Structure formats: structure tokens, C-alpha cells
A = this chain, B = another copy of it.
Amino acid sequence: MKSSVSRDGVSEKISEAELVVMEALWEHSPQTANDVADRVAGARDWSVQTVKTLLSRLMAKEVIAADQDGRRFLYRPLIARDDYVASESGRLVNRLFGGRVSPLIAQFAQQDQLTAEDIAELEDILKGLKS
């Protein structure tokens, strides 16, 4: 029996730094390398070269693609943020909670990490599921 959370979807491992670049592309795309660098500047103090290296590594991992536009490239994500997020969430649940989602929430509840808003939204979600 497989764990209850499957559908890995995103196989290529995206590193922490690479993720910052992905976020910039998810936020808006397509973009040139310089656009990405500018957009990323708020989060990290990287040189343009660093961003370009990360872009080419992401290309090697086939999670983004580039279309030539004159003499530069326009980069765009090949995977949806939702898919990535689902995959990472699933990984966490599998690694630490035996694939069950509720213990994860129980954990947040136990740490008093649920805001009133969270609780209200959780109720809505449950209501939606029961309908």
C-alpha cells in the first residue's frame, strides 16, 4: 500500500536559491534574465551573473524554458507553482507524518500556530468538503 499522499509530479530537485528564481518567474513570465534579477533583488543580494547561473541550472533541470527574443531570452516556468507546492507539501507529509495530513495540522494546533483566521478558513474548507 502506497502512502496516502502520492503524485510526486516534480521530480527535479529545486534548490533553495533556485526556488527564489522560480518564484520570480511564477510571479510574472516570460521575463528576461535581467528582469528576473531585478525582481529577485528584493529578496536576495545577488549579482546578475548569479541569477543567470541559476536560470541555466533550472534549464538543465527542465523546469523552465527560454524562447529567444532578438539577442536575449525570455524565460518561463515549465511547471506550475501549484504542482510544485503540492509536491513539496506531499514530501513533507510523507517524510515526517507518515503520509497523513491530519497529524501535520494537529502539530500546528499544538504549537498554537493557528490564527483565528486559519481556524475560520479551516472550518470553511471542511464545510466545503462535506457538502
Bound complex: CA of A115 vs CA of B102, how far in Å?
A: 9
Decide if the interface of chain A is mainly helix, strand, loop or mixed. Answer: helix
Bound complex: CA of A128 vs CA of B110, how far in Å?
A: 10
Q: What is the CB-to-nearest-CB distance from A40 to chain B, in angstroms, rounded to a whole number?
A: 15
Do A102 and B125 touch across chains, with their CB atoms under 8 A apart? yes
Q: What is the CB-to-nearest-CB distance from A32 to chain B, in angstroms, rounded to a whole number?
A: 26
Name the residue on B nearest A20 (C-beta). B95
Task: Please state the number of chain copies in the assembly.
Answer: 2
Bound complex: CA of A9 vs CA of B56, how far in Å?
A: 34
The range of chain A's interface size is: 35 or more
Do B102 and A129 touch across chains, with their CB atoms under 8 A apart? no
User: Using Cβ atoms and an 8 Å threshold, which residues of chain B touch A109?
Assistant: 125, 128-129
Q: What is the CB-to-nearest-CB distance from A3 to chain B, in angstroms, rounded to a whole number?
A: 11
Interface check A123, CB cutoff 8 A:
yes
Interface check A92, CB cutoff 8 A:
yes
Do A89 and B104 touch across chains, with their CB atoms under 8 A apart? yes
